[in-house]
Chain A
């Protein structure tokens, strides 16, 4: 019997490591690739230097009026001067701490939900979802506890964008879950009602929904009863969004194996209990990334309230850019708004991808 002596591991031949080898493999592996690389460099050269000089190198950072912008680049003075309006709209300056406080409350309040060691997430989360809106509404709207009333017509800027998006999703979630359950129900009448409802809202653009809620809703209501503009928009957004949430939740319900439904039934649980205790907790966990994605879509869609005359972030920018004292600042304004929207949407899409990845590994056998 011989004992095999293994040969030692050798490093790969020299031309396979190092930056030169990397570039050869990834950038210049063939003449076509070399051409593409050169094309890419050309594109970058075309875009990046002018962009850099406009946004940073030649930009104007200090001053207080349009006349202070003497250099060729962007006039960020405009953004500085109007920053308050972009963030809070016409919310009274001395009361803006109330907005800040609500944001901090949301951040601090939601923080435990992101700590993986925190045990009572479900109960805490539900409680938070009930308590926070009341608290935030009282803070923002005022009118009691010695807080001055701030009418919703004064709300605006990024704050209004966030209000519409969060209220929209919070309202759409329960409605969407019910619709999803209804769509998968055994009862034909319920199914027809839910399918019609869902397909209707998914078939029309949000803009027509907003038109509808702003001009038709007053006609639907009994005489003398009227909502303010924001509430009408919110109703439209919630109804519209619930259809999309319903489709996401339905996907989650379908992903739950049949055995789970049978096991719940075998334990003698009725419909609502087996849904509430067994199916939904699993399904909702699966669809969190999908919900985050619909939230991103909603967040982008909030900009449409411009059409019915609400002053969200985008409309504030549009308004400010039309100000005669700041003419020609449209580019700066839209770039700033784009950056804010981008940070939110990109951040959330990364978070959703991270969740998907986590769920993916959690479900592997």
Chain B
């Protein structure tokens, strides 16, 4: 009997789970490689038969079409790579505006849902339940086709104090044109910011040393007003406003926000804000009532209780899902393809793909951009999570 006990024999057999594990992994990798090879092979044959040459040379060719909105200079003779850049910049523009507005609206609605005021909290609930349950693309189409395109033409546009004009061509507004006092003014603003930072530092230091609080907000506000104000008095006004003028059938001068941009930003803001509101609400609710009670029983007033106890804890819960909503907003900006706003997908994966037929290259570039954005944000998120994780044992 004793011979059976002892170290297992080092013989390889299929019954050994480790051997089976290795075998399984080798088969999987082989399958993945084979699939890749098979698809690659098919693609090669198909491309040859259709006479498409692969490669990224097409990026240097001239595009030859106009773009409704470009943040950098563009003419029809510019290359496809510049078209890509314009698309990317427009994606970023919509994303940044959308993220800022959705965050503001979302926080307001989320806090409103927690309000002790019954009407306010019910209104906020209705907002959240209505807008998060309607597809974002539908909301974009609604704003575009049912709201902005049905606006009157430029000659009958809604006029807001002769400054803003809202028409089916978009929102026309005055453009800020820098004068020679522009750069001195910017320098004074910078100076004011530096002064405020120094003041806050000094005030915090003094508070720690002596416990005497300082009216940081009011003094800061005064600094921000007085320094640039002096600059304006010395050098004159930094910008002059170029008013939009109705000439013939359209406006000239000023800036215009095209209806596609308006529809897209409003829809994405409204949709994402509904989700952010829920995140904010559950984040604040996750801080137990005991924390508030403890702070209150120590004599802390509502302001410091919120700033020093509730918000730091709620933010830990709020920020990770909030970033994933931001990511969703960036991805949802691709829905612009539904109304032809020239962002990356509709411009590059749409128009450029149709013109050049370079499907694989174009889709690969587009997807890589989104992947790069997603991966960098999730890396940032992981770093943040490890940094702020509550230390437990």
* B138-174 interface with A by 8 A CB criterion: 138-139, 141-142, 145-146, 149-150
Whether A204 pairs with B25 at a CB distance below 8 angstroms is no
Interface contact tally, CB-CB below 8 A: 156
Whether A219 pairs with B115 at a CB distance below 8 angstroms is no
Whether B360 pairs with A40 at a CB distance below 8 angstroms is no
Whether A29 pairs with B116 at a CB distance below 8 angstroms is yes
Specify the chain B residue showing the minimal Cβ separation from A296.
B133
- B130, CB-defined interface residue at 8 Å: yes
Specify the chain B residue showing the minimal Cβ separation from A197.
B32
A278 to B11, CA, bound (A): 32
Given A43-B123, A221-B42, A334-B142: A26 in contact with B118 (beta carbons within 8 A): yes
A296 to B135, CA, bound (A): 10
Specify the chain B residue showing the minimal Cβ separation from A22.
B118
A321 to B32, CA, bound (A): 46
A344 to B21, CA, bound (A): 45
Per-residue contact bits, chain A 284-307, to B (CB 8 Å; 1 contact, 0 not): 000000000000100011011011
**What's the minimum C-beta distance from B89 to chain A, rounded to whole angstroms?**
17
Contacts of B337 in A (CB 8 A): 207, 307
Interface size of A by CB at 8 A reads 58
Whether B345 pairs with A208 at a CB distance below 8 angstroms is yes
Specify the chain A residue showing the minimal Cβ separation from B46.
A219
A36 to B370, CA, bound (A): 42
- State the main secondary structure of chain B at its contact with A: helix
* B316-342 interface with A by 8 A CB criterion: 331-332, 334-335, 337-338
- A104, CB-defined interface residue at 8 Å: no
Interface size of B by CB at 8 A reads 55
Whether B367 pairs with A330 at a CB distance below 8 angstroms is no
- State the main secondary structure of chain A at its contact with B: helix
Whether B335 pairs with A207 at a CB distance below 8 angstroms is yes
Per-residue contact bits, chain A 197-226, to B (CB 8 Å; 1 contact, 0 not): 001101111111001100110111111000
- A66, CB-defined interface residue at 8 Å: no
Whether A187 pairs with B120 at a CB distance below 8 angstroms is no
Given A219-B359, A300-B135, A341-B134: A36 in contact with B142 (beta carbons within 8 A): no
Specify the chain A residue showing the minimal Cβ separation from B31.
A193
- B366, CB-defined interface residue at 8 Å: yes
Query: Among A27, A189, A314, which residue has its beta carbon within 8 angstroms of that of B118?
Result: A27
Contacts of B47 in A (CB 8 A): 219
- Pick the 10 closest A-B CB pairs, nearest first: A203-B374, A345-B133, A40-B119, A189-B25, A205-B331, A300-B135, A26-B118, A331-B146, A334-B142, A205-B334
Given contacts A40-B117, A304-B137, A338-B138, list 10 more A-B pairs with CB under 8 A.
Answer: A189-B29, A203-B373, A204-B331, A296-B133, A300-B134, A306-B137, A314-B138, A330-B145, A331-B150, A334-B142
Q: Report A's interface with B, CB cutoff 8 A.
A: 26-27, 29, 33, 36-37, 39-41, 43-44, 186-190, 193, 199-200, 202-208, 211-212, 215-216, 218-223, 296, 300-301, 303-304, 306-307, 314, 318, 321, 328, 330-331, 334-335, 337-338, 341-342, 345-346, 349
Chain A to chain B contacts (Cβ below 8 Å), 24 pairs:
A33-B116, A37-B120, A40-B123, A41-B119, A44-B123, A189-B28, A190-B25, A193-B28, A199-B375, A200-B371, A203-B371, A208-B363, A211-B349, A211-B363, A221-B42, A223-B45, A303-B138, A306-B137, A314-B135, A318-B145, A330-B150, A331-B150, A334-B138, A342-B134
